[in-house]
Structure 1
Amino acid sequence: MTIMKTKFNIYITLALTILLGASCSDDFLEDKKNYGSYDDTFYQSQERTQAYVDNQYYEFFSAYKSPIATLVGSYTDTNSRLTEELGGTQDLINPNKTLINAADASGYYGVKIGTGILNHPYNRIRECNNLLEDIDIKGAILDKTFRDQAKGQMYYLRALQYFDLMRTYGGVPLVTTVQAAAADNPEIQLPRAKVSEVVEQIVKDFDMAASLLPRTWASAGSNYGRVTKGAALAQKARVLLTYASPLFNKNWDGSNDRWDAALKAGLAAEAQLTADGYGLVGSNAKQWEQMFLVDNAFCPEAITVQFCGPGNTAQTTNNSWEKAIRLQGQGGSGGGTPAPKEMIDLFPLADGRRPTAANGYNDFTFFVNRDPRFYRTFAFSGVRWAYKENTTAALWTYRWVDGASKIGFADGNSSASSTAFVRKMTNLTATNATNYQYSGTDIFEYRYAELLLNIAECYAALGQTGNTLAYLGRIRNRVGIPSANNYGIGTLADKYAAIEAVLYERRVELAYEGKRYWDVQRWMLYDNATLPGITGGTVSKLGLAPINGTQRTGNFLQYKNTAASEKTDPITAAARAAVVADPDATNFQAQLITLATFYNNNFVRTPLVTALDNFNGAAVKIKFNPNYYISGLNATALTQNTWLLQTIGWNDANGGSGTFNYQE
């Protein structure tokens, strides 16, 4: 994926012919204004057609500014904040709220298409349809390869949009032509298609895209980030994995058909991408970290990538992640991105085993003897975390209390609310001149590692535990985890243990990349509760603890003795400098042991005054209701399209119970 540096306004800049119907119907899908109809000469210009394609990339991806953001077009971090990765109560996990009415449902579906230009899902789909219908007829004079590649990109983008609609709503109307405006035309009053029909269309589109797109693009610099044949095949594999998962597949545990299809698609994508030069990057955790910083150039790990740029101009999309993760003491603007204790305690030990007390894990000196990826995912007091203005900077986020109960904060980090902070995908040469807000670091939306994990999951669901271990081993081997005992994974007793092992590895390898919510959703992991007519119970089958009833926990790292004054740090700069641990140092592990002793001698862990998960200041526990897995259509969509059925578990615009079952 790429953001072209200059947005091409297809409606104004090129003075396109816009045919506006006279109808004023309230129907969302019925009232199709012909703003997307162009005269017969439009597609006769390769320059105009290319700009049209580039504008579609802009409409789809211009809001994609953070790796934890999801849903094409809108790209917010709401879904990621529903998981264990980040604290802060959201409506869908707030036990004080029950959302069942259409007015409370997701608004992602959009509003009716009218005379204005809106960047909503069906607007984006319409623009894809327009080019697909017209380019071979009105643009027949254009080079065939150019036309095929333009169509391939539109098939890809249309499929991608339908996939996010499916993940949000289940079945949705399938519009694959440019519909003429009409106030009352039953032919365009399209019903919600079954999920199976939506998946069939998505797969068909990705197959068409793969047949038309190049394996790699010529003029790699100017075409950096455009989707490829391999990307289309990888997305197809992701779609079929989702379709095979329990949320949409009530027979996931009894029938292999969908898992077989997903595995076949995954292996085909792996073969194609490998042949095209893609693969896992590096052989240690440092190279794994540096992989995320490959900028505006081919990275073998990045199947799809969002192009970001530095600077403050209207033509540039910045990556907001660096600003979000940096703390005040580093020149940031807040408390960084605190890691809940549950995430700190998640990552394996250095030998790949789970971090349990029986395996020697100490949750106070949590940084000792951990998976190499831990130190590239999290930062903590006493560890090196550089930036342009200070290449030897270390993070310190402890606080102290004096005899008058006044509080001081190390390095001015008064907003710190955890003992560790997310640093994954950080740029150690980023400037704090403007609080890191103009980062140009690209975002990898789909990595080769995820594809391997998708394949591993299919093998697991099929009971092929040996193949599951082989693919998980590839993920762990490249970051330097020893191969003993299957890279610490041990023996997988059955397919349920294998699935759990894959989901665990996904939490570690893909942490803070916007993937966890989709895993929780498609495996229905909040608890075993289900709606009538929906099959669930996966939490128990996989031997997992439900997410519902848990909290994302924050803590203070506090100086253990009474300080002389809130204004004077009780720990000297020299004492701190003597124990700094540098992940790039050859004696890093020895440095961590020294730092652990320093922690034991100087600090205690204390609870936050206000919990990370709170409602009006009172601590709350996660409560995600089963109707939230698939959103209902919101009131606007239903009142503008009265023939559409509401989703089960949700009330329609008139208060009636929804009947659309996404598992049928």
Structure 2
Amino acid sequence: MRNSNFNIYVTFSLVALTVLSSCDEFLDVKPKDALATSETVILDKSSAESALRGLYNALGDAGYYGTSFQSIGYLSGDNIQWTGSQSQVQEFINRKVNADNATISSAWNAIYRTINRANNILAAVLEIKDATLSESLRSQILGEAYFIRGLAYFDLARTWGGVPIVTSPTKAAGDNANVAKTSVSDTYAQALKDLDAAEPLLPETIDRYRATKKTVWALKARYYLYQNNYVKADEYATKIIADVRYKLLKPFNAFFASNARGTDESIFELFYNGTTEVNAHRNQWQPQSNGGTRQWAPNDALVKLLNDPTIGGTRSTLVAKDNQNRWYGNLYYRTPASDPSYIIRIAELYLIRAEARAQQDQLNDALNDLNAVRDRAGLLAITASSKEEILLTIENERRVEFALEPHRWFDLVRTGRADEVLNVTEPFRLVFPIPADQVLTDGDLVPQNDGY
């Protein structure tokens, strides 16, 4: 536990809890479905802080980083198998997702609800006249809202491509109803615009659960890697790696085993208390003998990689066997379901910088970063003779380092390797379909992505 101006992880207020119901149309959000849908709701310091807690709550919702959005990233890769019977989940494994897929709709709606809460905060907090709300706290609240909105638009862009950009709050039915879908470049540009706005407003401190200037730098490093801007990706990754308060912990499972949370490994994670705030990942991964459903599990290829001492090393602790001798994922295991959702870890920054430096032909420096991650996993340093060999090694290292985190699909799409590795022969499937109900609402404004 940590002390701060207020605790993000405390049980949220009744105001926040009453806004979790899903809305059918993100552009036509009913007032009850969005926090602070009236300017009169956020009136003072206390209500502004309550609104911010609600924003983090939305980020950790089951539809967003609580389960659905993350599952898109790992079910669509080549590490996970589906053991249940729901055909809509198998669509991700087969990489043949349909527009009526419930997970797609859940993630889309959850992300736009998060954006709407951020929009309400950004509109209202500037207008607060409360002597107890210091300007530094006002700036911090605004900065955190910008950061989360920037993360949301980044996630929308890499999942769906171009989407509608909504930056004003939905206060009544019909607000923002005529916002058209934009291009993927415009959607990414909005993400960067929000991160740029957040950066000067936030303190340069360490907080594993809340956005700070350093959290912005970490996400910018990821953003620039996706944009193939390797100089900037290197620059922002270095800002984080240079801070000794972020560390690659040994052994590998030190950041999640034995109920660990908020460790030096973590740059940004989400807290769940297991009662009013539950991380639904646990139920999906754990076997029936541990009170879960094991509806998704590591496939044979991943199990082989993780248990190979020359590849997985101590990362083999990500998987375990149940009483029926079946492998299951063990990143999420706590009872009650209070496991954090890991959004950014320091290992990612090392591998971002390794890739960025390899792309800049700084091969020795790239190997140093790659080998730092390998050393933490109990593996020997490697050598490579060419840029192409190093890049492939980094790709393979990311596969096992983030085996149960939502990186694999997005990695292969951004590097243009999804066809070769995953046999995605229809290029339109590199982005997912806009949910069918959104297209039905107004296909002229939000047309379906090409091919679907």
Instruction: Describe how 1:243-254 pairs up with structure 2 within 5 A.
Output: 243-244=227-228
Deviations 1:132-176 (A, max 9, x none): 122122335321111111111111111111112112211112222
* Partners of 1:463 and 1:204 in 2: CA distance: 29
Q: 1:501 aligns with which of 363, 368, 393?
A: 393
* Partners of 1:480 and 1:28 in 2: CA distance: 46
Q: 2:301 aligns with which of 338, 342, 347?
A: 342
Instruction: Describe how 1:16-95 pairs up with structure 2 within 5 A.
Output: 29=27, 31=28, 36-40=36-40, 42-63=41-62, 74-75=68-69, 77-88=71-82, 90-94=90-94
Aligned sequence identity (%): 25
Letter in 2 for 1:491: A
Instruction: Describe how 1:361-440 pairs up with structure 2 within 5 A.
Output: 371-379=312-320, 413-414=323-324, 416-417=325-326, 420-424=327-331, 437-440=335-338
Deviations 1:350-378 (A, max 9, x none): 4x4x6xxxxxxxxxxxxxxxx53244233
Letter in 2 for 1:85: N
* Partners of 2:272 and 2:431 in 1: CA distance: 32
1:205 is the counterpart of 2:194: yes
Q: CA deviation at 1:457?
A: 1.4
Instruction: Describe how 1:93-242 pairs up with structure 2 within 5 A.
Output: 93-94=93-94, 102-103=99-100, 106-108=104-106, 120-139=110-129, 141=131, 142-178=133-169, 189-216=178-205, 225-242=209-226
Give the match for residue 566 of structure 1.
Answer: none
Question: For the structure 1 residues 139 and 173, does the alpha-carbon distance in structure 2 shift closer, same or farther, using more than 3 Å as the test?
Answer: farther
Letter in 1 for 2:318: T
Q: CA deviation at 1:474?
A: 1.0
Q: CA deviation at 1:11?
A: 7.3
Letter in 2 for 1:447: R
Question: For the structure 1 residues 421 and 299, does the alpha-carbon distance in structure 2 shift closer, same or farther, using more than 3 Å as the test?
Answer: same
Question: For the structure 1 residues 296 and 509, does the alpha-carbon distance in structure 2 shift closer, same or farther, using more than 3 Å as the test?
Answer: closer
Give the match for residue 280 of structure 1.
Answer: 248
Give the match for residue 85 of structure 2.
Answer: none
**Unaligned ranges ≥5, structure 2:** 83-88
Question: For the structure 1 residues 39 and 425, does the alpha-carbon distance in structure 2 shift closer, same or farther, using more than 3 Å as the test?
Answer: closer
Question: For the structure 1 residues 443 and 165, does the alpha-carbon distance in structure 2 shift closer, same or farther, using more than 3 Å as the test?
Answer: closer
Question: For the structure 1 residues 281 and 437, does the alpha-carbon distance in structure 2 shift closer, same or farther, using more than 3 Å as the test?
Answer: closer
Q: 1:307 aligns with which of 266, 271, 283?
A: 271
Q: 2:278 aligns with which of 287, 312, 317?
A: 317
* Partners of 1:308 and 1:39 in 2: CA distance: 29
Q: CA deviation at 1:327?
A: 6.3
Higher helix share goes to which structure?
2
Aligned residues: 432
Question: For the structure 1 residues 170 and 473, does the alpha-carbon distance in structure 2 shift closer, same or farther, using more than 3 Å as the test?
Answer: same
* Partners of 1:170 and 1:336 in 2: CA distance: 29
Give the match for residue 490 of structure 1.
Answer: 383
Larger radius of gyration between Structure 1 and Structure 2: 1
Q: Secondary structure at the match of 2:145?
A: helix
Question: For the structure 1 residues 649 and 318, does the alpha-carbon distance in structure 2 shift closer, same or farther, using more than 3 Å as the test?
Answer: closer
Alignment root-mean-square deviation, CA: 3.7
* Partners of 1:5 and 1:153 in 2: CA distance: 17
Checking the alignment, whether the CA contact within 8 Å between 1:453 and 1:472 is kept in structure 2 is: yes
Q: Secondary structure at the match of 2:230?
A: helix
* Partners of 2:214 and 2:203 in 1: CA distance: 9
Give the match for residue 466 of structure 1.
Answer: 364
1:264 is the counterpart of 2:253: no
Checking the alignment, whether the CA contact within 8 Å between 2:39 and 2:124 is kept in structure 1 is: no
Q: CA deviation at 1:624?
A: 6.9
Question: For the structure 1 residues 212 and 104, does the alpha-carbon distance in structure 2 shift closer, same or farther, using more than 3 Å as the test?
Answer: same
Give the match for residue 628 of structure 1.
Answer: 429
* Partners of 2:142 and 2:348 in 1: CA distance: 27
Q: CA deviation at 1:523?
A: 2.8
* Partners of 1:193 and 1:278 in 2: CA distance: 37
Letter in 2 for 1:151: L
Question: For the structure 1 residues 341 and 122, does the alpha-carbon distance in structure 2 shift closer, same or farther, using more than 3 Å as the test?
Answer: closer
Q: CA deviation at 1:181?
A: 5.5
Checking the alignment, whether the CA contact within 8 Å between 1:281 and 1:300 is kept in structure 2 is: yes
* Partners of 2:106 and 2:431 in 1: CA distance: 12
Tell me which moved more, 636-645 or 54-63: 636-645
Letter in 2 for 1:638: V
Q: CA deviation at 1:10?
A: 2.9
Q: CA deviation at 1:349?
A: 5.5
Letter in 2 for 1:10: V
Q: 1:515 aligns with which of 407, 419, 422?
A: 407
Checking the alignment, whether the CA contact within 8 Å between 1:327 and 1:334 is kept in structure 2 is: yes
* Partners of 2:179 and 2:344 in 1: CA distance: 32
Q: CA deviation at 1:37?
A: 4.2
Letter in 2 for 1:458: A
Checking the alignment, whether the CA contact within 8 Å between 2:120 and 2:169 is kept in structure 1 is: yes
* Partners of 1:124 and 1:241 in 2: CA distance: 24
Deviations 1:585-632 (A, max 9, x none): xxxxxxxxxxxxxxxxxxxxxxxxxxxxxxxxxxxxxx7743221123
Question: For the structure 1 residues 92 and 649, does the alpha-carbon distance in structure 2 shift closer, same or farther, using more than 3 Å as the test?
Answer: farther
**Unaligned ranges ≥5, structure 1:** 15-25, 65-69, 111-118, 245-257, 355-370, 381-396, 398-412, 427-435, 528-538, 540-545, 549-622, 652-664
Give the match for residue 654 of structure 1.
Answer: none
* Partners of 1:32 and 1:139 in 2: CA distance: 28
Checking the alignment, whether the CA contact within 8 Å between 1:326 and 1:337 is kept in structure 2 is: no
Checking the alignment, whether the CA contact within 8 Å between 1:319 and 1:442 is kept in structure 2 is: no
Question: For the structure 1 residues 481 and 181, does the alpha-carbon distance in structure 2 shift closer, same or farther, using more than 3 Å as the test?
Answer: closer
Checking the alignment, whether the CA contact within 8 Å between 1:159 and 1:203 is kept in structure 2 is: yes
Q: CA deviation at 1:511?
A: 1.5
Question: For the structure 1 residues 378 and 120, does the alpha-carbon distance in structure 2 shift closer, same or farther, using more than 3 Å as the test?
Answer: closer
* Partners of 1:161 and 1:63 in 2: CA distance: 15
Checking the alignment, whether the CA contact within 8 Å between 1:131 and 1:154 is kept in structure 2 is: yes
Deviations 1:310-356 (A, max 9, x none): 5xx4x24256538833563xx55667975432113324854x4x6xx
Checking the alignment, whether the CA contact within 8 Å between 1:32 and 1:179 is kept in structure 2 is: yes
Question: For the structure 1 residues 207 and 78, does the alpha-carbon distance in structure 2 shift closer, same or farther, using more than 3 Å as the test?
Answer: closer
Checking the alignment, whether the CA contact within 8 Å between 1:172 and 1:193 is kept in structure 2 is: yes
Letter in 1 for 2:428: N
Q: TM-score, normalised by structure 1?
A: 0.57
* Partners of 1:213 and 1:34 in 2: CA distance: 30
Letter in 1 for 2:105: G
Q: Secondary structure at the match of 1:303?
A: strand
* Partners of 1:27 and 1:336 in 2: CA distance: 29
Checking the alignment, whether the CA contact within 8 Å between 1:3 and 1:62 is kept in structure 2 is: no
Checking the alignment, whether the CA contact within 8 Å between 2:384 and 2:390 is kept in structure 1 is: no
Question: For the structure 1 residues 74 and 372, does the alpha-carbon distance in structure 2 shift closer, same or farther, using more than 3 Å as the test?
Answer: closer
Q: Secondary structure at the match of 2:127?
A: helix
Checking the alignment, whether the CA contact within 8 Å between 2:267 and 2:345 is kept in structure 1 is: yes
